[in-house]
Amino acid sequence: MAIKTIKLPTGEEIAVDEWLHWPIYSALIGSGNVNGSGDGAPINLFAFSYTVSDRIPTTNPAPPGGPFIARTSDTNLVVRSKINHDEAIVIFSMIYEPFALSHDTPFGDPQAPNVSAVAPVLSASNLRRLQMDAMLALYVGANISKPQIQGPFSYFAQGSGATAFGSGDSLAVNFTPDGGGAPVSNLAFSYGTGGYISPRNQRRFQLPVYVHSDRTFKAKFWTPRGAVVGLDQNWYIRFMVDGIKRRPVG
């Protein structure tokens, strides 16, 4: 017997043939190693606040290369900070995928024999710094100050992305930085992932969040203490609300 309807915990029923498994995503961009300090810029940004061809929200200061104009790989939101009038989404989890926009500081430094994460790989240490300092919250409704979901960035599992494996062994690298000094001798590949990369690595909400048609919603990503101490890579994080999305009309 085919399943034609799903009953939500609220008692509302939705017709399966009108819905898709289609996450909505939105990226944010930030700076690391601001003015050579070795620290990351303070974060106070809202994802799902823009559409394609708008500027992607960035920290102040922003990484070089801006302004960053949104493409379809940065967001698939149709209306700024809102679900379109002919769509809706039932959110079961929030996931993310981090990227680096720069190398970390030790790369190619003769005084540091470790060659570490190369962009677009965000190093494990930098991801952990963001997980330690940043908060993530989901707001539904206009002029709402109470979030539907909120927790430290580390509370939310990654879920999406490319699985990477590193042995941690030291490897010989036969080149001499800057043409002088001792050759770099260790290759310490570092790839920051928020757990095992699998669709099962999602923190499923105890109750789904239903965002109705034409309803305002946004996700806030911020650091209560300001600067992210020790963050030395510029970053790009694509946030996703995962669940089932009402099929648009037409």
Write the pLDDT tens digit of every residue in 63-79.
Answer: 999 899 999 999 999 99
Contact call for residues 29 and 235 (beta carbons, < 8 A):
yes
Residue 42 lies in a domain: yes
Cis peptide before 67 (omega within 30 of 0): yes
Mean local confidence (pLDDT), 11-30: 86
Pairing status of strand 186-187 against strand 114-115: parallel
Residue 115 amino acid letter: V
Q: What's the whole-model pTM score?
A: 0.84
Contact call for residues 194 and 7 (beta carbons, < 8 A):
no
Q: Is the pLDDT of residue 94 over 90?
A: yes
Q: Is the pLDDT of residue 99 over 70?
A: yes
Domain extent at residue 225: 15-103+123-158+201-246
Under the banding of pLDDT at 50, 70 and 90, the label for residue 173 is low
Write the pLDDT tens digit of every residue in 183-240.
Answer: 555 556 678 887 777 777 888 888 889 999 999 999 999 999 999 999 989 999 999 9
Residue 183 lies in a domain: no
Per-residue pLDDT, 155 = 93
Per-residue pLDDT, 169 = 46
- Rounded Cα gap, residues 228 and 168, in angstroms: 26
Residue 166 lies in a domain: no
Buried b (16+ CB within 10 A) or exposed e, 95-130: bbbbbbbbbbbbbebeebbbbbbebebbbbbbbbbb
Residue 34 lies in a domain: yes
Which SS3 state, helix, strand or coil, does residue 53 take? coil
Residue 7 lies in a domain: no
Residue 208 lies in a domain: yes
| Percent of the chain residues topping a pLDDT of 70 | 82
Residue 211 lies in a domain: yes
Q: Is the pLDDT of residue 160 over 80?
A: yes
Reference 40, options 50, 28, 54, 55; nearest CA is 28
Angstrom CA distances, 6 to 10, 14, 16, 169, 187, stand at 11, 5, 7, 50, 51
Per-residue pLDDT, 177 = 54
Residue 2 lies in a domain: no
Handedness of CA 212, 159, 247, 250 (dihedral sign): positive
Q: Could you give the number of structural domains in the chain? A: 1
